[in-house]
């Protein structure tokens, strides 16, 4: 019994001390990469202008030396592909990977099946920070756009810390108390965000459009803005997979194995909050990605975070690219905010998880 411990609310399966030699799920990694590539090809071929995935593949092959393949695309199609569709697909893959991996990391560090950037106040805090820069940025800095990710990061940390402290002190730290604390903190921060919006009426339309979530605003400028934050946060979170497996054993067991749980929590929460903030800064508020994707991946690869997190990166990117295709095409030529589509998909999924968690903890 010394090397086993039942996990916290949401999983209900015994945990073994993780082995550093645990193999990565190569099959699921290859499958996730293939799914991401397929989603990307669908994403760049979807739209009013008819450009088939086959023609896009031939165009890409034409740039390889000694391929002998000629591009079937004309200059207009190439310009459309490079300037509009490709950056949107790349942005969807980055944002989806960030939100999904942040959700998986939050679930691991809090040992809570319902932990999610939006439920824990991270997204609301990031939204408030970004809104403050949008409304007052010209008065605070010469480069307000570049300041958005940092302000969102600070807001995300404040939101998560407030939700965790409130849930721990007022409700005992259980699943229900953490969720309720997150809802309360998110509501407060959203109210503060609304107040800030009203103080900057000139920026109201811009902020409102941003709040609904979207990927097609800034093109390659947004990609260049977000990729450094994405790289740092994802590398840190992937490196912490083994440590999250040790935390799943409980603090006492982790300490006996030479791990400092407090330090690990600070590192993981900071990296997950940075990932959330980076995603929110360039795409707005896109909910439920951080709860849907990690749970699906956990069903596929098991409860080991060394396996969950890298597969989640790929599945999260593919998921949001596919959702964006739906947002662009379901009411074409109009376009749905991507946050609306993820809410339609994610809300029933969240209720299913909540029901399952309740049955396991009662």
Per-residue pLDDT of the chain in tens (362 residues, 90 and over written 9): 344 343 443 444 445 555 544 457 889 999 999 999 999 999 998 877 778 888 888 888 888 877 778 888 888 888 888 888 899 999 999 999 999 999 999 999 888 777 888 878 888 898 898 888 888 876 655 556 677 788 888 898 899 889 888 887 876 656 567 778 888 999 999 899 888 888 876 666 777 777 777 787 778 888 998 999 999 999 999 999 999 999 888 888 889 888 898 899 889 988 998 999 889 888 888 888 999 999 999 999 988 999 999 999 999 999 999 999 999 888 877 788 888 899 888 888 877 777 776 555 44
Q: Do residues 282 and 91 touch, judged by C-beta distance below 8 A?
A: yes
- Going along the chain from its start, the domains and CATH numbers come out as 95-361 (1.10.3470.10)
- Length of the chain in terms of residues written: 362
Q: From CA 120, how far away is CA 175, in angstroms rounded?
A: 11
Q: From CA 124, how far away is CA 277, in angstroms rounded?
A: 10
DSSP state for residue 72 in the 8-state scheme: -
Q: How far is CA 218 from CA 87, 223, 283, 316, 328, in A?
A: 9, 8, 9, 21, 16
Q: What is the pLDDT of residue 10?
A: 40
Q: Do residues 9 and 294 touch, judged by C-beta distance below 8 A?
A: no
Contacts of 71 (CB under 8 A, 6+ apart): 58, 59, 62, 78
Q: From CA 42, how far away is CA 31, in angstroms rounded?
A: 16
Helix, strand, coil percentages, rounded to 5, for the chain: 75, 0, 25
Contacts of 31 (CB under 8 A, 6+ apart): none
- Tokens 């049955």 belong to 359
Token pair in block for residue 333: 């030529």
Q: Do residues 309 and 267 touch, judged by C-beta distance below 8 A?
A: no
Q: Do residues 292 and 220 touch, judged by C-beta distance below 8 A?
A: no
DSSP state for residue 202 in the 8-state scheme: G
pTM: 0.84
Q: What is the pLDDT of residue 20?
A: 45
- Tokens 């609904």 belong to 212
Token pair in block for residue 321: 């690219």
Q: What is the pLDDT of residue 17?
A: 52
């Amino acid at each position: 019994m010394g090397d086993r411990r039942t996990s916290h609310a949401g999983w209900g399966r015994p945990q073994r001390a993780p082995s550093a030699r645990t193999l990565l799920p190569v099959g699921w990694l290859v499958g996730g990469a293939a799914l991401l590539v397929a989603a990307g090809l669908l994403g760049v071929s979807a739209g009013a202008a008819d450009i088939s995935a086959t023609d896009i593949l031939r165009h890409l092959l034409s740039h390889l030396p000694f391929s002998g393949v000629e591009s079937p695309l004309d200059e207009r199609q190439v310009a459309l592909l490079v300037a509009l569709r490709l950056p949107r697909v790349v942005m969807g893959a980055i944002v989806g990977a960030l939100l999904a991996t942040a959700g998986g990391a939050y679930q691991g560090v809090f040992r809570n099946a319902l932990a999610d950037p939006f439920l824990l106040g991270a997204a609301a805090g990031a939204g408030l920070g970004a809104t403050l820069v949008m409304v007052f940025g010209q008065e605070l800095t010469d480069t307000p756009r570049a300041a958005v990710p940092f302000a969102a990061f600070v807001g995300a940390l404040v939101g998560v810390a407030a939700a965790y402290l409130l849930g721990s002190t007022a409700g005992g730290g259980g699943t229900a108390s953490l969720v309720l604390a997150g809802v309360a903190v998110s509501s407060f921060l959203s109210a503060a965000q609304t107040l800030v919006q009203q103080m900057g009426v000139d920026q109201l339309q811009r902020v409102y459009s941003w709040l609904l979530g979207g990927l097609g605003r800034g093109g390659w400028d947004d990609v260049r803005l977000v990729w450094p934050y994405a790289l740092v946060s994802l590398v840190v979170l992937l490196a912490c997979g083994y440590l999250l497996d040790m935390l799943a054993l409980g603090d006492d067991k982790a300490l006996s194995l030479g791990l400092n749980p407090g330090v690990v929590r600070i590192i993981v929460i900071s990296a997950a909050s940075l990932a959330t903030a980076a995603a929110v800064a360039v795409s707005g508020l896109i909910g439920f990605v951080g709860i849907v994707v990690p749970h699906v991946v956990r069903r596929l690869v098991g409860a080991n975070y060394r396996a969950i997190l890298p597969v989640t990166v790929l599945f999260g990117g593919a998921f949001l690219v596919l959702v964006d295709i739906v947002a662009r095409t379901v009411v074409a030529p109009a376009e749905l905010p991507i946050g609306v589509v993820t809410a339609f998909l994610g809300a029933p999924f969240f209720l299913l998880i909540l029901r399952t968690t309740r049955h396991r903890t009662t």
